[in-house]
């Protein structure tokens, strides 16, 4: 009886210690995941050559993190090279890449396949293999195209700097402000104007446990916006302006050279 | 150093683009070609989408050819009458060529035919000019004999052309032809240029030298005059129908090209006609080799935006 009482006392003490331990461990987990992008508004002016983004926030120290920047999926048509007559490479047909984001930039604290289950990667569209499952590729007749074209599409987008994966690029800090993270992203100037979504996912035991997000707006401003608008809304006037300016520039420089003694 | 282009939606190093304009403008002033066959691929290499590269190139050629035409006109090198006939023919041929290409595209396999026509024409014209001008340069010591032979050659050719109606004397060029000849040749070049998607300067120049027998320096000035009007038409149509003219890119290019065209004109005055011909033929042959290599070598990326040559 005495032994039974001793055992139950030990059991309760162990339980109390375990609960205390859990409470101690869960303190960082209580720190909510946050996300902030600086700058979150990127104006396109004549001197625009991309931007340097800093994505920062707070997270639980034990969680791994994945940050993605993507656009809404769109359909993109591209010409594809094929060998003609067994000799020459030519743009032969066209392929439609359906439901493909214009931009896909991913950063993480560690290698994706090490921190997340395969199902979780696909469900959250994390990594190029997950994108392969989402993007549908069709030829000009609407038939599904060979899977090799996804690899070519990836090469094409990486070459344009709009698709990139940097595993291990997120830096974590533990200081007075709690547990913070930061990742610097070079925003490519090739990305068209639009609204882009930044998603931060906290990962624990192979699963996504928390999410936070922010938006980035990339927008033409001033004369860049005015010229772009004019080219589409007043195309005739735009064409006449382009011709007149070119003519005046050509004739003007011709006149300058005349003064320099260009004639017989 | 960088400038954002509102229609191409990309950023470029404007010093590099200005340098491209200068180099191609120089060729334009020297040889009377628009340089589209060089400029469009160069612009694509700096990241400009193909359709915008081709349309904007036409816009900058308006400036370069205006600059070149005015300086050649001052030197007495523009045969306006001949230019006008070629221009009318070119407009008709261009419109016809566009219809031909529509028909070809509908039947399929047109791109292969276009590319092959391009390579054969460039290679053929380049080789012919190279051999011909090399022979002419070898014979410079016997200049008077060569002149006599050329005159005899003229007489022989004159037999067929002389039989045609509407004989006209072209004072600046010092030749007499039926007005139908430049009209027909202009149409022929216009059709080919439309099929190949290029301005046609590199075809028009040899046609003027070898078929219309115009002096080399007048050929350059007259070709630029004709190119000026063709490119005005192309710029307007591309801007109006396809929204593919990037005005800012054109301005950066033309800053380089208008100066290049002037320098080219001055340089051209210091070179003999045969030297000009052999230089042009070398450039045309180099472009042909580049196109052939591109055709037979597997591209590093097998996808591309639509458009371009």
Q: What is the mean pLDDT of residues B88-109?
A: 76
**Domain coordinates in residue numbering, chain A:** 1-30, 32-220, 225-254
What are A22-78's pLDDT values in tens digits?
Answer: 444 444 445 789 999 999 999 999 999 999 999 999 998 889 999 999 999 999 999
* pLDDT above 80: residue B100: no
Instruction: Spell out which residues of chain B touch residue A100, defining contact as CB-CB under 8 Å.
Output: none
Cβ contacts below 8 Å, chain A against chain B, sum to: 193
Task: Determine if the peptide bond prior to A39 is cis (ω within 30°).
Answer: yes
Scan residues 274-303 of B and list those with Cβ closer than 8 Å to A: 294-303
Q: A104-108 and B10-13: which strand pairing?
A: unpaired
Provide the pLDDT for residue A137. Answer: 95
What are B119-157's pLDDT values in tens digits?
Answer: 888 888 889 889 988 888 887 655 554 454 454 454 445
Provide the pLDDT for residue B110. Answer: 64
Q: What is the mean pLDDT of residues A231-253?
A: 93
Provide the pLDDT for residue A106. Answer: 98
Provide the pLDDT for residue A126. Answer: 97
Query: Long-range contacts made by residues B156-163, C-beta under 8 angstroms, separation at least 24?
Result: B157/B213
Instruction: Spell out which residues of chain A touch residue B75, defining contact as CB-CB under 8 Å.
Output: 262-264
The architecture of the domain spanning A32-220 is Sandwich (2.60)
A254 to chain B: nearest residue by CA? B67
For residues A239 and B269, what is the distance between their CA atoms, to the nearest angstrom?
34
What are B187-224's pLDDT values in tens digits?
Answer: 988 887 777 666 677 788 888 988 889 998 899 899 98
Query: Which segment of A154-158, B103-107, B259-263 scores lowest on mean pLDDT?
Result: B103-107
Contact B303 A153 (CB under 8 A): yes
Q: What is the mean pLDDT of residues B280-288?
A: 87
Contact A47 B4 (CB under 8 A): yes
Query: Residue A206: pLDDT band by 50, 70, 90 thresholds?
Result: very high
CA of B70 vs chain A CAs: smallest distance (Å) = 6
Query: Which segment of A14-23, A90-99, A214-223, B186-195 scores lowest on mean pLDDT?
Result: A14-23
- Which residues have a Cβ under 8 Å from the Cβ of B100 and sit 6 or more positions away? B191, B194, B195
Q: Which residues is A220 bridged to in the sheet? A: A44
> A7-34 in b/e burial notation, b at 16+ Cβ within 10 A?
eeeeeeeeeeeeeeeeeeeeebbeeebe
Provide the pLDDT for residue B287. Answer: 84
Q: What is the mean pLDDT of residues B88-112?
A: 74
Query: Residue A169: pLDDT band by 50, 70, 90 thresholds?
Result: very high
Instruction: Spell out which residues of chain B touch residue A224, defining contact as CB-CB under 8 Å.
Output: 4, 6
Instruction: Spell out which residues of chain A touch residue B248, defining contact as CB-CB under 8 Å.
Output: 46, 227
Instruction: Spell out which residues of chain B touch residue A247, defining contact as CB-CB under 8 Å.
Output: 62-63, 66, 232
* pLDDT above 60: residue B51: yes
For residues B222 and B173, what is the distance between their CA atoms, to the nearest angstrom?
10
CA of A69 vs chain B CAs: smallest distance (Å) = 19
Contact A155, B301 (CB under 8 A): yes
Provide the sign of the torsion angle of the four alpha carbons B159, B165, B169, B173, taken in this order. negative
Contact B295 A90 (CB under 8 A): yes
Provide the pLDDT for residue B3. Answer: 94
Single out the residue of B37, B41, B45 nearest to residue B10, CA to CA: B45
* pLDDT above 80: residue A214: yes
Q: What is the mean pLDDT of residues B78-98?
A: 88
CA of A60 vs chain B CAs: smallest distance (Å) = 39
Contact B236 A239 (CB under 8 A): yes
The larger pLDDT score, comparing residue B205 to residue B250, is at: B250
Instruction: Spell out which residues of chain B touch residue A227, defining contact as CB-CB under 8 Å.
Output: 6-7, 247-248
CA of A21 vs chain B CAs: smallest distance (Å) = 55
For residues A76 and B233, what is the distance between their CA atoms, to the nearest angstrom?
31
ipTM score here?
0.80
Q: What is the mean pLDDT of residues B63-87?
A: 90
* pLDDT above 90: residue B1: no
* pLDDT above 60: residue A9: no
Provide the pLDDT for residue A18. Answer: 47
Scan residues 82-101 of A and list those with Cβ closer than 8 Å to B: 82-85, 87-92, 94-95
Q: What is the mean pLDDT of residues A76-84?
A: 89
* pLDDT above 50: residue A262: no
Provide the sign of the torsion angle of the four alpha carbons A62, A64, A69, A75, taken in this order. negative
What are B297-307's pLDDT values in tens digits?
Answer: 999 999 988 76
CA of B286 vs chain A CAs: smallest distance (Å) = 18
Provide the pLDDT for residue A6. Answer: 52
CA of A47 vs chain B CAs: smallest distance (Å) = 5
Contact A67, A199 (CB under 8 A): yes
What are B256-265's pLDDT values in tens digits?
Answer: 988 888 898 8
**Domain coordinates in residue numbering, chain B:** 2-296
Structure letter (DSSP) for residue A146: P
């Amino acid at each position: 009886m005495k032994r039974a009482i001793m055992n139950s006392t030990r059991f309760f003490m162990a339980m109390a210690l375990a609960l205390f331990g859990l409470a101690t461990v869960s303190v960082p987990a209580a720190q909510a995941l946050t996300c902030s992008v600086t700058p979150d508004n990127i104006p396109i002016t004549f001197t625009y050559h991309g931007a340097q983004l800093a994505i920062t926030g707070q997270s639980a120290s034990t969680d791994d993190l994945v940050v993605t920047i993507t656009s809404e999926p769109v359909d993109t048509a591209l010409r594809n090279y094929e060998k003609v007559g067994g000799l020459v490479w030519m743009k032969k047909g066209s392929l439609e890449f359906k439901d493909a984001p214009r931009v896909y930039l991913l950063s993480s604290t560690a290698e994706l396949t090490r921190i997340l289950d395969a199902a979780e990667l696909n469900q959250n569209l994390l990594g190029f293999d997950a994108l392969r499952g989402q993007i549908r590729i069709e030829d000009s007749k609407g038939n599904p195209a060979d899977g090799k074209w996804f690899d070519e599409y990836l090469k094409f987008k990486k070459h344009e700097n709009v698709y990139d994966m940097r595993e291990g690029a997120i830096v974590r800090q533990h200081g007075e402000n709690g547990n913070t993270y930061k990742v610097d992203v070079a925003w490519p100037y090739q990305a068209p104007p639009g609204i882009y979504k930044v998603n931060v996912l906290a990962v624990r035991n192979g699963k996504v446990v928390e999410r936070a997000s922010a938006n980035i707006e990339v927008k033409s401003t001033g004369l860049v916006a005015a010229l772009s608008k004019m080219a589409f809304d007043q195309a005739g006037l735009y064409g006449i302006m382009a011709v007149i300016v070119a003519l005046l520039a050509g004739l003007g420089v011709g006149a300058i050279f005349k003064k320099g003694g260009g004639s017989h | 150093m960088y400038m954002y282009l509102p229609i191409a939606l990309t950023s470029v190093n404007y010093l590099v683009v200005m340098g491209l304009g200068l180099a191609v403008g120089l060729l334009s002033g020297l040889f009377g070609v628009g340089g589209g066959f060089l400029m469009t691929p160069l612009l694509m290499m700096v990241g400009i989408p193909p359709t915008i590269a081709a349309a904007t190139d036409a816009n900058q050629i308006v400036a370069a050819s205006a600059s070149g035409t005015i300086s050649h006109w001052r030197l007495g090198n523009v045969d306006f009458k001949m230019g006008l006939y070629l221009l009318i023919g070119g407009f008709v041929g261009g419109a016809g060529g566009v219809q031909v290409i529509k028909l070809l595209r509908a039947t399929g396999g047109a791109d292969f035919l276009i590319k092959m026509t391009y390579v054969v024409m460039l290679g053929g014209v380049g080789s012919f000019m190279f051999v011909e001008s090399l022979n002419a340069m070898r014979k410079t010591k016997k200049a008077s004999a060569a002149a006599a032979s050329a005159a005899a050659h003229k007489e022989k050719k004159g037999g067929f052309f002389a039989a045609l109606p509407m004989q006209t004397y072209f004072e600046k060029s010092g030749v007499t032809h039926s007005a139908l000849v430049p009209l027909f040749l202009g149409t022929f070049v216009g059709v080919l240029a439309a099929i190949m998607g290029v301005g046609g300067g590199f075809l028009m120049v040899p046609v003027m030298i070898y078929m219309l027998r115009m002096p080399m320096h007048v050929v350059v000035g007259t070709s630029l005059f004709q190119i000026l009007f063709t490119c005005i038409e192309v710029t307007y149509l591309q801007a109006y129908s396809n929204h593919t003219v990037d005005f800012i890119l054109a301005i950066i290019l033309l800053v380089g090209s208008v100066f290049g065209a002037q320098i080219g004109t001055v340089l051209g005055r210091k070179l003999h006609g045969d030297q000009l011909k052999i230089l042009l033929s070398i450039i045309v042959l180099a472009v042909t080799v580049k196109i052939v290599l591109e055709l037979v070598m597997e591209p590093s990326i097998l996808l591309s935006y639509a458009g371009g040559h």
